[in-house]
Amino acid sequence: MRFSKLWKVLGHFLEFSKATSIHGLKYITEEKRHWLERGFNKTLKEDDYYGFVQQLAEIIQPEQVDAFHYNITQLELVLHDHNLTMETLMVKLTQPCSSLMIKCKWRGELVPCDQLFTMHKTDAGFCCSFNYRPPDKTVSRDPYIRVNGAGYLAGVSMLMDPRLEDYYAALFSFYGLQVLIHAPTDYPEISARGIILAPKKEAFLQVSAAATYSTSNVRLLSTSQRQCLFKDERHLNMSLENTNSTYSYSNCLIKCRLEHMERLCNCTPYFYPDTGNTRQCGLMDVQCLAKHRRVFINLRAPDHILSPADNLNSMSCDCHPTCTDVVYTAEISQGNFFKSEYDRTHFFKEITITNHSILHVYFKDLSVLRFRRDVIYSWNDLLVKHLNRHRENSARLVAFRIHGDQNLKKTALDIVHDFSDRSTPGHMISNAAIKGTSRDDATACLTLSSFLFL
């Protein structure tokens, strides 16, 4: 689960000198101010501050190739002089979880929020996460937090303050939070699938799950036939320490995108997993990221679906869905939030309510829908089925359409007759008999898919 404070990067960067006419920005020269504020004030003009803050958002969603109207080189030098990378800078500018999460409940009991939430990388920057296991060795390997009940009293509840007064250069033109439900080992892509939670709302987020597992018979098929991968068949190594590289379709696409970014721009954005093999993108790289933006967001489709021209600006990724997977879906309902004088939950005790929101996240039902992926028919099963029909009615042998001269047809029919005369339960037809038929009519079935077994 992921909560994204929508890029309140104004922070320390929008305070200028005492002489500025902008209201509220005259305290930059105070000795108590952070060195970062005073350092920028000595070296940059007012427009540079605004340009710098806007460029920070461009790293997340690079859209304009000609977005450089400010002294980006000088800004980069200031960061370098203070030994600041984009990652460390954004950590300083992001609202910490301790100020976002005011109060938390777990299974109906008040719990310190720092025991439940930690800050991690997402495609929208740094966000506060619950029960997430990123590919990072420094993260605790404690067991996953689990529940054994349904309903909001069996889930997690949060009182949050988004601090709307800090908004500047946001990715989207709305106030509030974004919430994402995802698998605990998947890199969070909140920009595409985040659910919006507006300020001054109390929301109930109901989570449902559907699991799919594959039998051992599916594993016997080739990857091209089953079009899925078991998690132990491929490792992604998406972390600096090459740990916790659990395969998933989502993580595979992320790694593919990183490889394309490294190839085209020779860097990767700070908010993606750090593999330690490439340079971290800076402000000077925004132009390259914007230039190839279409490549990074489009996945190459098969030629029979899209034309080569449509596939020109896209990623070519060797990624398959997992054969065993859990898919989470979420439904949200929310209403206007108010602090009631009759509140007995102590959730609002000693809290001055302004633009706060409350979110309850819980499982909707006690049960989970489970699907099985299995092989229904093999070649042997299909042939035995047709041969059994032949024994009932020899005329059905015409179903085996064999094209060629009469000698080939006679040979194939002799094989079928011979098999039908001595077939018993469990008797398998030989590969030679299969090769004696035409492959043009080959077909087989897999449950939960429309793949052809060819």
Domains of the chain in sequence order = 7-90 (no CATH), 102-372 (2.60.470.10), 376-441 (no CATH)
In one-letter notation, the amino acid at residue 100 is L
What pTM was computed for the model?
A: 0.70
pLDDT at position 78 is 75
What confidence score (pLDDT) does residue 420 get? 39
Q: What is the pLDDT of residue 265?
A: 93
pLDDT at 52: 66
**CA dist., res. 88 & res. 92, Å (int):** 6
Looking at residue 157, what is its pLDDT? 94
How far is 413 from 437, CA to CA, in rounded Å? 10
pLDDT at 418: 42
Enter the DSSP assignment of 389.
Answer: H
Model pLDDT, residue 11: 40
pLDDT of residue 428: 29
Strand (E) positions, 2-73? Answer: 2-5
Q: What is the pLDDT of residue 102?
A: 92
Weakly modelled stretches of the chain, pLDDT under 70: 1-59, 61, 63-72, 135-142, 168-172, 238-245, 302-311, 339-345, 378-381, 386, 389-454
The pLDDT of residue 386: 67
- Cα-based angle 57, 61, 66 (whole degrees, multiple of 5): 80
**Cα(300)–Cα(316) distance, integer angstroms:** 5
Query: Residue 340: its pLDDT value, please?
Result: 61
Task: Say what the pLDDT of residue 298 is.
Answer: 84
- CB-based contact 268:262 (threshold 8 Å): yes
